[in-house]
Structure 1
Amino acid sequence: MAILVWDYLQEYAEERDDILDAVEQVFRSGRLIFGESGQGFERAFAAYHGVPHCIGVDNGTNAIKLALQALGVGPGDEVITVSNTAAPTVVAIDARGARPVFVDVRDSDYLMDTDQVAAAITSRTRCLLPVHLYGQCVAMDPLLELAERHGLVVLEDCAQSHGARHHGRIAGTMGDAAAFSFYPTKVLGAYGDGGAMLTADDIVQHRMRRLRYYGMQERYYVVETPGHNSRLDEVQAEILRRKLCRLDDYIAARRAVAQRYAEGLADTELGLPTLGPGNDHVYYLYVVRHPRRDEILAALESYGISLNVSYRWPVHTMSGFAHLGYRPGSLPVTERLADEIFSLPMYPSLPRETQDRVINALRDVLDRYPADGAVRVERLSNPT
């Protein structure tokens, strides 16, 4: 059987009765838009994070875009972020008419290099947008200090960090606002698209609620500020509300898989994930590194293992953002990582025997493709 980097079918088999009951509950409720399921999930997600306000939206990209708008970021403003991220982070900035400004990432944990942010701030900078990537948090204290000193807002991109902590503080509670995605692959994933914004600011949350509902708040057809149609679907909200009760279990299962990978691959030439100072990792992805990445990925296909690269093309190298003017070599760490990193299968229901197949196949392939480029005799064994 082929091994994929992500699969939900085993989890669905285990949770099927609850998922289908969630759908039935919504369909029988008599309220398919802005009903109790959406409101209930918002209350529960806010409570999980210890903040007063959660605003559900239709996807994570719009969560970033609307949060930026609610924070006052717009045309002509600059937003400092990273290029080693999923493109939607930057697409959302561009959708506001703002200009993304990239800083490089750290070679150790692939997260924003906060030491580079001060030099990137200009008179047009309005927002710092750290991406809590792969399941752990950016070092936030330097960013919060810079934001206070320069009068900037901080928006956390938490699409990959549900439940992650930094020095005890949970992702999504350290900036002025936070944006989450509930795309099915996420640590807390829906059965379709979904997103949310968090904030402790009463004024900002009122703006967010208006913006996700055409610009209306109290009365239908009365637009206070032109907005969008960006509501979280009731069915997805009810599924998420129920899955939220299992989020800590999902995280524990991911950490157990990560521990087995770490133990099984510790004595190889594979670069394994490094934990940032003060971080509690939730392992949305288990990202490893090797200078002969593409040869290794091709060889793994013969074992029935298909893996992903997050991310093979840094955003600043994409043709859609050529107008930003970044040239090859402008973000050297990001660009080097793009040639070396790849992700191992990671999801809570990943069977133990599948983990063993991945570890054994990798060990076999790594013997044939050493980092120094030397040719070695191919093993005859085939991992099972």
Structure 2
Amino acid sequence: MRVPFYDIKAQYDELAAPLDKVVHEVISSGVYALGPHHNALEREIAELHGCKHGIALNSGTDALRIMMDAQGIGPGDEVITTAFTFVASTETIVQTGATPVFVDVDPSTFMIDTSLIDAAVTERTKAILPIHLFGQLCDVRGVTAAAERNSLVVLEDAAQAIGCTYEGTPSGNFGVAAGFSFYVTKNLGAAGDAGMIVTNDDEYAARARAIRIHGMGRERYYYDYVGYTSRMDEIQAAVLRVKLQRMAAWNERRAEIAAIYLDRLSGLDLPLPSIQPGNNHTWHQFAVTTPRRNELMPFLRERQVDSMIYYPVPLHFHAPYARFGGGEGSLPETERISREVLNLPIHPHLTDEQVEHVARSVVDFFA
């Protein structure tokens, strides 16, 4: 039985009629940027996260970069973050001229170990960039407490955390701003690249909006900041608005799949993901860890089960970022997890039969 890791085509098949209609509507309108769907999506995502402002952008990476610029982070500054993540989290810090300072992760969550933040603070530290990973929030209480103790700004990397909450409060409310990715594989995915910043700070929102369009703040052709071309295309906004109506149902299906995995795999010597107290979980990924990862992955492939490794090499081991790390052994949990992590299929268009096949295959391997 073939089990694909992603099935983006299935999303289209489910929503073909409304997607075709809205794409034709946009193309025939002649309004391709900053149009009604773009403006409505900003309001809808901001409302979903209980924030005043949404700033739609052309990628989640640009969301992180513009968040840095709008906060004034630059050369001489340090930003505390983690190395078990997608590269955008670190590269956007480096692009500003600032220095990423890596701390290790909590082995139960793969996210920032907040007990290590204070020791990483120096007189140059300006911000903390916590990364909400795999569909739930990090220890936001620990992050915000550390930020308050050390007078630091919090900028949330919420690329994988659309709709995630802690004690009912959504991402975007634990710092100055949060950045989301709508890449095609996300729980809410565009038909290409797209991203967004949410914030409750009026002045910050005004800066971010200006920076996304060449730094034009006051009026057209008057430049207040060095900026970018980072508008979200109107077609992407329209596609996202259609899919947003299905996101809650798709997340419910992800939770059903996770429940099957958790039940079927519970008797194995295999650490399974957990929902942290106070969090909901949108199950962007279902990640297990095992020292036998490099045997399990080809075994699953023989059973026609796709799996992925997020992330195989921690960022402080990559050539462009090695100078910011302490070398091998400096982040022991990050390094161990990178050696052992394996992500199982959990997209919402899997059938129960496919999910059971994945679970049986993992059980058979360990048996």
Alignment TM class, shorter chain as reference: over 0.9
Pairwise CA distance, 1:325: 4.1
Q: Take 2:293 and 2:30, find their aligned partners in 1: how far apart are those partners?
A: 52
Contact 2:102 2:325 in 1 (8 A): no
Q: Take 1:90 and 1:103, find their aligned partners in 2: how far apart are those partners?
A: 13
Give the paired residue count.
367
Pairwise CA distance, 1:202: 0.4
| Amino acid in structure 2 at the alignment position of 1:3 | V
Aligned runs of 1:1-384 on 2, under 5 Å?
2-367=2-367
Three-state SS of the structure 2 residue aligned to 1:40 is helix
The corresponding residue for 1:372 is none
Q: Take 1:187 and 1:181, find their aligned partners in 2: how far apart are those partners?
A: 10
Pairwise CA distance, 1:74: 1.1
Q: Take 1:2 and 1:320, find their aligned partners in 2: how far apart are those partners?
A: 38
Three-state SS of the structure 2 residue aligned to 1:197 is strand
Three-state SS of the structure 1 residue aligned to 2:320 is helix
Q: Take 1:232 and 1:265, find their aligned partners in 2: how far apart are those partners?
A: 41
Pairwise CA distance, 1:4: 2.4
Pairwise CA distance, 1:218: 4.1
The runs of 4+ residues in structure 1 deviating greater than 4 Å are none
Contact 2:158 2:171 in 1 (8 A): yes
Contact 1:316 1:322 in 2 (8 A): yes
- Return closer, same or farther for 1:325/1:112 CA change in 2, 3 Å cut-off: closer
Pairwise CA distance, 1:303: 1.0
Q: Take 1:204 and 1:216, find their aligned partners in 2: how far apart are those partners?
A: 14
Three-state SS of the structure 2 residue aligned to 1:54 is strand
Q: Take 1:292 and 1:22, find their aligned partners in 2: how far apart are those partners?
A: 47
Q: Take 1:113 and 1:184, find their aligned partners in 2: how far apart are those partners?
A: 29
TM (norm. structure 1) is 0.93
Pairwise CA distance, 1:263: 1.1
Q: CA RMSD in A?
A: 1.2
Contact 1:317 1:326 in 2 (8 A): no
| Amino acid in structure 2 at the alignment position of 1:153 | V
Farther-moved stretch of structure 1 (205-214 vs 155-164): 155-164
The corresponding residue for 1:371 is none
Farther-moved stretch of structure 1 (340-349 vs 141-150): 141-150
Q: Take 1:220 and 1:244, find their aligned partners in 2: how far apart are those partners?
A: 32
Contact 1:126 1:152 in 2 (8 A): yes
Give the gaps of 5 or more residues in structure 1.
368-384
Q: Take 1:319 and 1:3, find their aligned partners in 2: how far apart are those partners?
A: 34
| Amino acid in structure 2 at the alignment position of 1:9 | K
> Percent identity among equivalent residues?
38
Contact 1:79 1:100 in 2 (8 A): yes
Three-state SS of the structure 1 residue aligned to 2:198 is strand
Superimposed CA distance per residue, residues 240-269 of structure 1 (whole angstroms, 9 cap, x where no aligned partner): 122222221121111111001111111122
Pairwise CA distance, 1:232: 0.6
| Amino acid in structure 2 at the alignment position of 1:65 | R
Contact 2:51 2:172 in 1 (8 A): no
